Structure 1
Amino acid sequence: MSETKLPVPARPASTVLLLRDGAEGVEVFMVVRHRDIEFAGGALVFPGGRVEPDDQALGGADALDGFRIAGIRETFEECGVLLARPRGEATLVDATRLLGIEALHRARVAKGEQPLSAMLAEERLEPAIDGMVQFAHWVTPLSRSKRFDTQFFLAAAPPDQLAVHDGYESEDSVWITPARAIEEANAGQRRLVFPTRKNLEKLGRHATVAEALAAARQAPVVTVTPEMVQTEQGWRLTIPAEAGYGGSVFEVLDAPAI
Structure 2
Amino acid sequence: MPPDQQPAAENWVNHGERTPRAARRASSVVLLRDGTRGVETYLGYRRGHSPLGTIAFPGGSEGNDDDANVAWFGPTPGQWADKLGILDHREARARIVCAARELFEETGVLLAGGDELSVLEDCSSNEWMELRQAVAEEDISFSELLNGRGLGLRTDLLRPLARWVSPDFAHRRFDTWYFAAAMPVRQQARLLEGKGTWSAWKSAADVLEDRGTTALGDEVDHQETVGLTLSQATVPAVEVILEKIATTRGTIAYLAHRRELKTFHPQLVSAGGQFVLEVSVSTASEGGICWRSR
2:115 is aligned with 1:73: no
| Aligned residue type for 1:160 | R
Question: Is 1:238–1:248's contact at 8 Å kept on the other side of the alignment?
Answer: no
Structure 2 counterpart of 1:239: 279
Flag the 1:29–1:246 CA change in 2: closer, same or farther, 3 A. Answer: farther
Question: Is 1:237–1:249's contact at 8 Å kept on the other side of the alignment?
Answer: no
Equivalent position to 2:252, from 210, 228, 251? 210
Structure 2 counterpart of 1:17: 30
Aligned counterparts of 1:42 and 1:228: Cα–Cα separation in 2: 17
Question: Is 2:108–2:129's contact at 8 Å kept on the other side of the alignment?
Answer: no
Deviation at 1:64, TM superposition (A): 2.9
Question: Is 2:101–2:142's contact at 8 Å kept on the other side of the alignment?
Answer: yes
The number of aligned residues is: 245
- What is the 5 A alignment of 1:58-207? 58=69, 61=89, 63-86=91-114, 88-95=115-122, 99=125, 102-190=128-216, 191-207=233-249
TM superposition score normalised by structure 1: 0.84
Aligned counterparts of 2:274 and 2:96: Cα–Cα separation in 1: 38
Flag the 1:41–1:85 CA change in 2: closer, same or farther, 3 A. Answer: closer
Structure 1 counterpart of 2:42: 29
Aligned counterparts of 1:112 and 1:245: Cα–Cα separation in 2: 41
Flag the 1:42–1:117 CA change in 2: closer, same or farther, 3 A. Answer: closer
Three-state SS of the structure 2 residue aligned to 1:250 is strand
| Aligned residue type for 2:125 | L
Flag the 1:193–1:26 CA change in 2: closer, same or farther, 3 A. Answer: same
| Aligned residue type for 1:213 | L
Structure 1 counterpart of 2:50: 39
Flag the 1:141–1:42 CA change in 2: closer, same or farther, 3 A. Answer: closer
Flag the 1:246–1:201 CA change in 2: closer, same or farther, 3 A. Answer: farther
Flag the 1:145–1:43 CA change in 2: closer, same or farther, 3 A. Answer: closer
Flag the 1:231–1:152 CA change in 2: closer, same or farther, 3 A. Answer: same
Aligned counterparts of 1:13 and 1:40: Cα–Cα separation in 2: 10
Structure 1 counterpart of 2:291: 250
TM superposition score normalised by structure 2: 0.75
2:19 is aligned with 1:6: yes
Deviation at 1:7, TM superposition (A): 2.1
Question: Is 1:20–1:26's contact at 8 Å kept on the other side of the alignment?
Answer: yes
Three-state SS of the structure 1 residue aligned to 2:215 is coil
Structure 2 counterpart of 1:256: none
Deviation at 1:230, TM superposition (A): 3.1
Question: Is 2:24–2:61's contact at 8 Å kept on the other side of the alignment?
Answer: yes
Three-state SS of the structure 1 residue aligned to 2:256 is helix
Out of 47-56 and 181-190, give the one that drifted further.
181-190
| CA deviation vs aligned residue, 1:66-104 (integer Å, no higher than 9, x gap) | 212111111111111111111x35120011x66375145
Deviation at 1:5, TM superposition (A): 5.0
Question: Is 1:65–1:129's contact at 8 Å kept on the other side of the alignment?
Answer: no
Aligned counterparts of 1:226 and 1:42: Cα–Cα separation in 2: 14
Three-state SS of the structure 1 residue aligned to 2:19 is coil
Question: Is 1:32–1:173's contact at 8 Å kept on the other side of the alignment?
Answer: yes
- Percent identity over the alignment is 29
Deviation at 1:55, TM superposition (A): 1.3
Question: Is 2:51–2:166's contact at 8 Å kept on the other side of the alignment?
Answer: no
| CA deviation vs aligned residue, 1:17-67 (integer Å, no higher than 9, x gap) | 011111122111111224xx2326983210000111311234752533321
Question: Is 1:58–1:66's contact at 8 Å kept on the other side of the alignment?
Answer: no
